[in-house]
């Protein structure tokens, strides 16, 4: 049962060095039967918000019992804590720097501990620069092999969370949000959920989306309904308002990135 | 038996977002014992020809029973169909946009169906932008777990295929082709098969290869027989005429890309 | 027992073509139960030193019995030999071009053979450009499945090793080394081991590190003890002197790369 647990990895290590392999080697030494899945290793170095976004979007698709090992850790070696937490049947091991923020918002917290018991570390003496290898990897593998989170250490009194801008409703007719993530295609993914725009969003419904001051048009059903190279807005696969360019990059087209204003004006 | 089936993934999703992980999570939820292998996620966004080439080159090396999940899908959410087909003992699930063209040419088609039965989808209501997660991933996992292609839906009356330029023989002395793919090293891989040049190609046989108007030299046995930085032509590991630069990029050296003319003049 | 062997892959193939998938398909056809782990495929094309560094750093973290398939092979198709060697309970299959140098220095050689027995190749006739697929992959899979190295061919009389600059002690007060590797963060990793600086390195110990002529400061415990954007030196997770920039790239900051001089002046 515990023998087919999945461990995912989400880091900013890149894939050109030995860092990811060291982490996987340590995991496989603890739990040879683990199924290892890369979420990504291409987070911009130290970008906690990007990590928080990608984790929250990936996690819901994994089976119960999955362990997620998250290492975007710009303050490694300081007194920032390592935490392990169970959210809705899945476990996340992560540095307590806010990377859990979006998962913490969307799923019930079932158990949490400060990772302190050195028996589950690679060795009692941690390096001060590579806790991914020395702490997060072996702890994730022990958890995947069946160890309970409560065995790792005491419950923390709080969790570090990012303060993120929230989408705002302006009267009945407007919702004001921000770009939360720019994906590899250059799509501008906002923090405005479809649910904030009222009941089931129809295609071509009478509304207008703006990126900053520039009009994008109504919400469309999919990319290919506009000509190649033309911008559009839609509700994406995450249920969020997205500004895109069919066959191109909205980030380039609008010169916009994370934090840029996205507005939906309802008819 | 069915329990050790391999599922490969071939997409243009990139590896910096949650898209690949979402697909893998969905597959593992359906079939936890699957062995997942990335072919590539670095196809240029929407580049159906690149997908067709990479798929046709990778597929023959996988064991019988392998399921290939191909998602290069620029018209996702329109009325383009999803197909599942068995070619020579391996199964491919793909959007019907031509990405199957080169596999379809080289292997016997044994079974094919339009993917329509919603019981094998992630949920009956597909998103309109991420069929990789909602349709291709769960269907691939069900196929890997033993589901027959014919269970997915009716047989299609036709398959969408790319119209690709064919290498031409000009009299006895010349074969005219095009660059079909540029690989990560900058090698210019043509559509001219060694078999078109006559019986077993000898090294340094009396022939001359041209890239556009520029002479490259005779066919060589391997890269390192010319000095570093010097161009050469050879029959590559795919059995195709390739123009390369030892330790460098032929694409840069010749300023050439997909579609560029490659000529072989036989003595 | 032999059924849970790990095979790692370390290449300069990149991940945008079919090359890695072809290698994995061949491995899985030989040994379907193998656990495949990518070390990296992003070595700069033909960069044997980078391969030697990454291999030596990754290998020690893998469990006994792991087989490492290393293909950075700029002289493929010439008379360079393929070797298989057991170092401290792990096996490496590699082209005899020096890529084994740093593993060979740090671990006991237990067995070695020239890979010659064609029964373990993909087919008796090798391509002259893709021994990764035709030779290294199937041989690695047979080794992972339990084949002894001595079955592959005769013992070689020597191994090709890179001549690398060694860190030099200058009197009691200085150690002079070179940058051996630049990682994805732009960290400058030198060849100076902590052990050469005397007993356990204390944080902020009285010493000064130089990158070329430019002072970097004392050895620090970790990145985040200096302000963001500021340079620092530390003993990294590999036990080597490293010059870094907190939240930035030391390679850019100092305009330095592999071969640049790193000096430690002890008080």
CB contacts of A37 in chain B (<8 Å) are: 21, 24-25, 28, 36
Contact, B226 vs B248, CB < 8 A? Answer: no
Cβ–Cβ of A15/C236 closer than 8 Å? no
| Residue A5: CA count within 13 A, CB half-sphere | 25
CB contacts of C57 in chain A (<8 Å) are: 17-18, 22
Cβ–Cβ of C18/B66 closer than 8 Å? no
Report the distance separating Cα B128 and Cα B118, nearest Å: 15
| Residue B85: CA count within 13 A, CB half-sphere | 24
CB contacts of B237 in chain C (<8 Å) are: 127, 129-130, 133-134
Nearest CA in chain B to A246: B74
> What is the tens place of the pLDDT at every residue in C99-156?
999 999 999 999 999 999 999 999 988 888 999 999 999 999 999 999 999 999 999 9
Cβ–Cβ of C35/A28 closer than 8 Å? yes
- Dihedral, CA atoms, C90, C92, C97, C102, nearest 10 degrees? -20
Q: Which of A38, A61, A62 sits opposite B133 (nearest CB)?
A: A61
Which residues 46-105 of B are in CB contact (within 8 Å) with C?
Answer: 53-55, 57-58, 60-63, 66
Cβ–Cβ of C25/B37 closer than 8 Å? yes
Report the distance separating Cα C1 and Cα B251, nearest Å: 47
Q: Given CB atoms, is A261 within the 8 Å cutoff of chain B? A: no
Nearest CA in chain A to B31: A63
- pLDDT one digit per residue (tens) for chain A, 267 residues: 345 699 999 999 999 999 999 999 999 999 999 999 999 999 999 999 999 999 999 999 999 999 999 999 999 988 999 999 999 999 999 999 999 999 999 999 999 999 999 999 999 888 889 999 999 999 999 999 999 999 999 999 999 999 999 999 998 889 999 999 999 999 999 999 999 987 545 545 588 999 999 999 999 999 999 999 999 999 999 999 999 999 999 999 999 999 999 999 987
Contacts of B14 (CB under 8 A, 6+ apart): A183, A184, A185, B41, B42
Nearest CA in chain C to B50: C17
Cβ–Cβ of B14/A39 closer than 8 Å? no
- Dihedral, CA atoms, C25, C29, C30, C32, nearest 10 degrees? 100
Contacts of A200 (CB under 8 A, 6+ apart): none
Cβ–Cβ of A78/C225 closer than 8 Å? yes
If you average pLDDT over residues B237-252, what whole number do you get?
96
Give the strand pairing for C174-182 and C231-235.
Answer: unpaired
Q: What is the pTM of this model?
A: 0.95
If you average pLDDT over residues B193-200, what whole number do you get?
79
Closest chain B C-alpha to C178 CA, distance in angstroms: 25
Q: Given CB atoms, is C121 within the 8 Å cutoff of chain B? A: no
Report the distance separating Cα B118 and Cα A20, nearest Å: 38
Report the distance separating Cα A71 and Cα A81, nearest Å: 12
Sign of CA dihedral B228, B233, B234, B237: positive
List chains touching B (3+ CB pairs under 8 A).
Answer: A, C
Report the distance separating Cα B259 and Cα B265, nearest Å: 19
Nearest CA in chain B to A66: B25
Cβ–Cβ of C185/A14 closer than 8 Å? yes
Closest chain B C-alpha to C16 CA, distance in angstroms: 5
Contacts of C168 (CB under 8 A, 6+ apart): C175, C176, C177
Report the distance separating Cα A204 and Cα A219, nearest Å: 6
Q: What is the DSSP letter of A133?
A: I
Report the distance separating Cα C204 and Cα C201, nearest Å: 9
Q: What is the pLDDT of residue C198?
A: 75
**ipTM of this complex prediction, to 2 decimal places:** 0.94
Q: Given CB atoms, is B14 within the 8 Å cutoff of chain C? A: no
Cβ–Cβ of C223/A74 closer than 8 Å? yes
Residue of C234, C158, C153 lying closest to C197 (CA atoms): C234
């Amino acid at each position: 049962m515990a023998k087919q647990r999945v461990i995912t990895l989400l880091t900013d290590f890149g894939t050109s060095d030995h860092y990811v392999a060291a982490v996987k080697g340590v995991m496989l030494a603890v739990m040879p039967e683990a199924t290892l899945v890369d979420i990504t290793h291409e987070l911009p170095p130290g970008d906690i918000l990007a990590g928080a976004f990608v984790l929250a979007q990936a996690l819901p698709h994994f089976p119960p019992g999955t362990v997620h090992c998250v290492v975007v850790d710009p303050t490694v070696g300081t007194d920032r804590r390592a935490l392990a937490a169970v959210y809705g049947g899945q476990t996340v091991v992560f540095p307590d720097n806010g990377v859990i923020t979006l998962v913490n918002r969307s799923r019930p917290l079932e158990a949490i501990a400060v990772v302190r018991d050195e028996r589950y570390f690679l060795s009692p003496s941690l390096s001060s620069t590579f806790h991914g290898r020395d702490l997060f990897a072996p702890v994730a593998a022990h958890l995947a092999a069946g160890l309970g989170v409560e065995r790792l250490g005491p419950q923390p009194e709080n969790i570090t969370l990012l303060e993120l801008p929230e989408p705002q409703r302006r009267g009945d007719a407007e919702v004001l949000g921000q770009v939360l993530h720019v994906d590899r295609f250059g799509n501008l993914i906002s923090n405005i959920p479809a649910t904030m725009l009222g009941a089931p969003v129809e295609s071509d419904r009478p509304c207008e989306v703006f990126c900053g001051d520039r009009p994008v048009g109504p919400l469309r059903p999919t990319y290919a309904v506009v000509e190649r190279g033309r911008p559009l807005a839609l509700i994406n696969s995450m249920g969020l308002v997205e500004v895109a360019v069919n066959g191109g990059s909205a980030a380039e087209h609008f010169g916009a990135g994370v934090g840029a204003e996205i507005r939906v004006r309802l008819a």
